[in-house]
């Protein structure tokens, strides 16, 4: 136990704040495992392998195989087992390698985790945290490139988080574990290698509210997860063209923080929603609907959406790039929103109509 | 380690009289897969091939031996580790290489990549990257054959890791219950990514467990292409004769890491070396040389021919066009005009 304490002191020494998204996530789990005996990590290749994205590397050595538990390829069984363990008082962190494979556990998540509390008339809360990688962009083709966090955000009973910054990666897990209900954490695959310094004042994250990542006055760019860096890059481009874009990081996809988004749009009067999910029935659609419901008279332009094209994500690089939201597309949408001509080079492909037969 | 109790595939009383030409053809098929993938490694390092890529090196005897038991009418359902299955099935190296280059001439028009090779004409139903995802689909192909009275076999490849998925167990039960013409080929290479068999299966004798579903089930030396061929022929005969699904546990080993992203730290080097001594390709080459069926000159000629074939595939893939970005939304729904009732 003494060694543990020394290590905590080392890990939190203010001098050593340089980290990566991956390490920040790991540090968050290490802290949780040290501070609460009920916490354990379970999933495929989380132990000896160190996690398919290396997030849990070293945790097996520190916490042993009881608490860093390698599971067979049985997503429905080990997610369901996590739910059962949570019912019995444990605080499981279940890792599903990627959102694509979570479909094999969707029944457990939807029909058990999300509903038990309600069906039991409030008797059975399910304090489980389920982490998974999401998103496209690495030429992994359709079955490995889904962005289904919007589906999960559709489900009452779940809290859905999308850490997009180092601070959120490091400090979202503790409040997630403290939540009495199931929390899903979506980690975009493109973020793991992002590195930087953790701000000196970084601490527990408010998982009820969206965050303003860059203030601006002309247009609100509303993004989350892997799309946040793209929205920030677009805001940079727009600034050099004289347009001041505010960037909102949704951070919590369910329940949505209407107030932060709405306040921003009430000031800028224009909104562009960026979402790697398919446009139809997307989170972006929900946000757009809420803005028209709540801020119709604040808006000076129709809400713009930059989403993925309605196609299973293709392997070929140029096709994949064309299918996903890109900085150019966000810039173009912002220009449309503020009523300025779209500069040449910025493509507006995301705006193509998506209905009808496409063959 | 659990003791092996599952039935071994019955050996024919006398060795079937494999003609020299057939033995050489098996070697050529395996060598084609080996050399093709070795080239893929170089091309991956040069960033010509991207995404996830899983190599079959070490397991060639399984795809090649099983293919001998199948006819052109039969169907094959595969995994993301499917270069070998596709080549053995006769999908041209050129079409596979172009696919991995993301070119329109690829067997999936560049939309699938290494993990999603398809060739409907050859009844090669892909390339599935969800572990276990091909199994129910294979049962459906077999069901259709049964319902339409066709004497065809559907062969489904999957790994030891997939054997832990509900998909496998649901499919095994359903196929046995409905007596579907399905050949289940489990490639037990002792690892599911970084997790060794004994760490992901409570009972590691997979053939024994499959037998519990009421299927004929055999464990086979997957490093010996003759043993694979014999077992697959016997099993396919049984399937064709209407005796329901058959299960083959192919005991094999992958010589390379799980994928190009994997640093392979979880395996003992000595273990890998031990299995490499049983290299199915060089093992057969040695046997043929010792039996004076393969001279050094013939080997060189064969190697040269395969190298030229692969060179041509790479060259064609390099030259081939990409699918235009304007066609991004193609093939989401069928291009044919549908007549609505
Ligand atoms: C449902 C699902 N879960 C997890 C994965 C990630 N994954 C890809 S391959 C693999 C290991 C599969 O092992 P096995 O079935 O033995 O096949 P092998 O790779 O050894 O050929 C895993 C965990 C996946 N693709 N699909
Ligand atoms: Mg395996």
Q: Which of A48, A72, A79 to mutate to test the interface with B (most CBs of B within 10 A)?
A: A72
Token pair in block for residue B83: 């270069």
Establish whether A44 is a catalytic residue.
no
Which domains are seen in chain A, by residue range?
Answer: 17-198 (3.40.50.970), 211-355 (3.40.50.920)
Whole-number pLDDT of residue A249: 98
Contacts 24+ apart (CB under 8 A), B294-299: B294/B24, B294/B27
pLDDT at B1 over 50: no
pLDDT at A5 over 60: no
d(CA A267, CA A244): 12
Distance B312 CA to ligand 1 centre (A): 32
Greatest pairwise CA separation for chain A in angstroms: 66
Q: Is residue B102 part of a domain?
A: yes
Q: Looking at the CA of residue A45, tell me the nearest atom of ligand 1.
A: 23
Q: Which ligand number lies closest to the CA of residue B157?
A: 1
Segment B229-238, tens digit of pLDDT: 999 999 999 9
pLDDT confidence tier of residue B188, bands split at 50, 70 and 90: very high
Does any CB of chain B come closer than 8 Å to the CB of residue A79? no
CA angle at A235 for the pair A229 and A241, rounded to the nearest 5°? 145
pLDDT at A1 over 70: no
Question: Are residues A110 and A155 in contact, defined by beta-carbon separation less than 8 angstroms?
Answer: yes
d(CA B265, CA A51): 13
Distance A197 CA to ligand 2 centre (A): 39
Q: Under an 8 A CB cutoff, do A73 and B51 touch?
A: no
Q: Does A203 or B32 have the greater pLDDT score?
A: B32
pLDDT confidence tier of residue A16, bands split at 50, 70 and 90: low
Residue found under tokens 């997009």? A164
* Closest residue CA from atom 13 of ligand 1: B192
Residue found under tokens 């479909």? A103
Question: Are residues B277 and B212 in contact, defined by beta-carbon separation less than 8 angstroms?
Answer: no
Q: Is residue B12 part of a domain?
A: no
Q: Is residue B334 part of a domain?
A: no
Does any CB of chain B come closer than 8 Å to the CB of residue A57? no
d(CA A82, CA A65): 16
d(CA A296, CA B181): 61
Q: What is the chain B residue with the closest CA to A49?
A: B194
Question: Are residues B107 and B91 in contact, defined by beta-carbon separation less than 8 angstroms?
Answer: yes
Q: Under an 8 A CB cutoff, do A74 and B164 touch?
A: yes
Segment A238-267, tens digit of pLDDT: 999 999 999 999 999 999 999 999 999 999
Whole-number pLDDT of residue A9: 39
Q: What is the chain A residue with the closest CA to B332?
A: A311
Q: Is residue B15 part of a domain?
A: no
Q: Is residue B11 part of a domain?
A: no
Distance A159 CA to ligand 1 centre (A): 28
pLDDT confidence tier of residue B15, bands split at 50, 70 and 90: low
d(CA A207, CA A179): 10
pLDDT confidence tier of residue A2, bands split at 50, 70 and 90: very low
Distance B262 CA to ligand 1 centre (A): 13
Q: Ligand 1, residues A73, A106, A133: which to mutate, most atoms within 8 A of Cβ? A: A73
- Residue in B26, B153, B42 with CA at minimum distance from that of residue B88: B26
Percent of chain A with pLDDT over 70: 91
Q: Is residue B323 part of a domain?
A: no
CATH number of the domain encompassing residue B40: 3.40.50.970
The ipTM, to two decimals, is 0.93
Segment A64-81, tens digit of pLDDT: 999 999 999 999 999 999
Burial of A355 (0-12, 13-18, 19+ CB in 10 A): exposed
Alpha helices for B114-245 (secondary structure H): 134-147, 166-177, 197-200, 206-211, 225-240
Looking at CA atoms only, how far is residue B50 from chain A in angstroms? 6
Greatest pairwise CA separation for chain B in angstroms: 67
Looking at CA atoms only, how far is residue A149 from chain B in angstroms? 18
Q: Looking at the CA of residue A104, tell me the nearest atom of ligand 1.
A: 1
Domain count along chain B: 1
Q: Is residue B7 part of a domain?
A: no
Establish whether A144 is a catalytic residue.
yes
pLDDT confidence tier of residue A354, bands split at 50, 70 and 90: very low
d(CA A226, CA A99): 14
Q: Which domain, by its residues, includes B130? A: 20-258+265-318
d(CA A107, CA A170): 29
Q: Ligand 1, residues B81, B131, B134, B191: which to mutate, most atoms within 8 A of Cβ? A: B131
Determine the average pLDDT of the residues in B128-139. Answer: 98
Percent of chain B with pLDDT over 90: 92
Q: Is residue B339 part of a domain?
A: no
Task: Write down the mean pLDDT value for chain B.
Answer: 95
């Amino acid at each position: 136990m003494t060694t543990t304490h020394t290590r905590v002191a080392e890990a939190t020494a203010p001098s050593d704040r340089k980290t990566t998204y991956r390490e920040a996530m790991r540090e968050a789990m290490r802290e949780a495992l040290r501070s609460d005996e009920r916490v354990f990590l379970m999933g495929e290749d989380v132990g000896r392998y160190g996690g398919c994205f290396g997030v849990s590397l070293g945790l097996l050595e520190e916490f042993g195989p009881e608490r860093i538990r390698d599971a067979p390829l049985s997503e429905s069984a080990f997610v369901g087992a996590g739910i059962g363990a949570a019912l019995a008082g444990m605080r499981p962190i279940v890792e599903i390698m990627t959102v694509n494979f979570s479909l094999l556990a969707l029944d457990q998540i939807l029909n058990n985790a999300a509903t038990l509390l309600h069906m039991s008339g409030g008797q059975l809360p399910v304090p489980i945290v389920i982490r998974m990688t999401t998103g496209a962009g690495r030429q992994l083709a359709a079955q490995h490139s889904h962005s289904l966090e919007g589906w999960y955000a559709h489900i009452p009973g779940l809290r859905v988080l999308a850490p997009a910054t180092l601070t959120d990666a490091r400090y979202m897990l503790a409040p997630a574990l403290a939540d009495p209900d199931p929390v899903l954490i979506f980690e975009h695959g493109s973020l793991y290698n992002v590195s930087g310094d953790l701000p000196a004042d970084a601490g527990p994250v408010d998982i009820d509210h969206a965050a303003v990542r860059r203030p601006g006055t002309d247009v609100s760019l509303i993004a989350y997860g892997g799309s946040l860096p793209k929205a920030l890059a677009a805001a940079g481009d727009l600034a050099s063209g004289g347009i001041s874009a505010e960037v909102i990081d949704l951070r919590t996809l369910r329940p949505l923080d209407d107030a932060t988004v709405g306040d921003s749009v009430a000031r800028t009067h224009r909104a562009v929603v960026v979402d790697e999910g398919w446009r139809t029935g997307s989170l972006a659609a929900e946000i757009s609907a809420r803005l028209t419901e709540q801020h119709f008279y604040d808006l000076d332009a129709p809400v713009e959406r930059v989403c993925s094209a309605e196609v299973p994500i293709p392997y070929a690089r140029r096709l994949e790039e064309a299918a996903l939201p890109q900085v150019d597309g966000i810039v173009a949408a912002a220009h449309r929103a503020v009523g300025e001509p779209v500069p040449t080079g910025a493509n507006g492909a995301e705006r193509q109509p998506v209905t009808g037969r496409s063959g | 380690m659990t003791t092996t109790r599952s039935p071994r595939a019955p050996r024919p009383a006398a060795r079937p009289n494999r003609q020299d030409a057939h033995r050489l053809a098996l070697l050529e098929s395996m060598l084609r897969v080996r050399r093709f993938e070795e080239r893929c490694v170089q091309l991956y390092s040069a960033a010509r091939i991207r995404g996830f890529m899983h190599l079959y090196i070490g397991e060639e005897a399984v795809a090649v031996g099983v293919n001998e038991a199948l006819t052109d009418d039969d169907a094959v359902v595969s995994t993301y580790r499917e270069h070998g299955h596709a080549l053995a099935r006769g999908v041209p190296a050129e079409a596979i290489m172009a696919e991995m280059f993301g070119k329109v001439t690829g067997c999936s028009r560049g939309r699938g990549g290494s993990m999603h090779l398809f060739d409907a004409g050859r009844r090669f139903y892909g390339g599935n990257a969800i572990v276990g995802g091909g199994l129910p689909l294979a049962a459906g192909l077999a069901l259709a054959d049964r319902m339409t009275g066709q004497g065809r076999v559907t062969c489904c490849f999957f790994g030891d890791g997939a054997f832990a998925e509900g998909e496998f167990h649901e499919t095994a039960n359903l196929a046995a219950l409905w007596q579907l013409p399905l050949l289940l080929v489990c490639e037990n290479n002792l690892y599911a990514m970084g997790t060794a068999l004994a760490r992901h299966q409570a009972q590691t004798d997979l053939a024994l467990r499959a037998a519990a579903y009421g299927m004929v089930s055999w464990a086979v030396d997957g490093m010996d292409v003759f043993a694979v061929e014999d077992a697959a022929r016997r099993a396919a005969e049984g399937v064709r004769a209407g005796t329901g699904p058959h299960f083959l546990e192919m005991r094999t080993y992958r010589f390379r890491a799980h994928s190009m992203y994997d640093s392979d730290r979880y395996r003992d080097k000595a273990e890998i070396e031990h299995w490499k001594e049983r290299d199915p390709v060089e093992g057969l080459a040695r046997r043929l040389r010792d039996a004076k069926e393969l001279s050094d000159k013939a080997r060189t000629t064969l190697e040269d021919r395969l190298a030229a074939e692969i060179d041509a595939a790479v060259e064609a893939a390099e030259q081939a066009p990409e699918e235009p970005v304007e066609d991004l939304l193609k093939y989401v729904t069928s291009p044919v005009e549908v007549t609505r009732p």
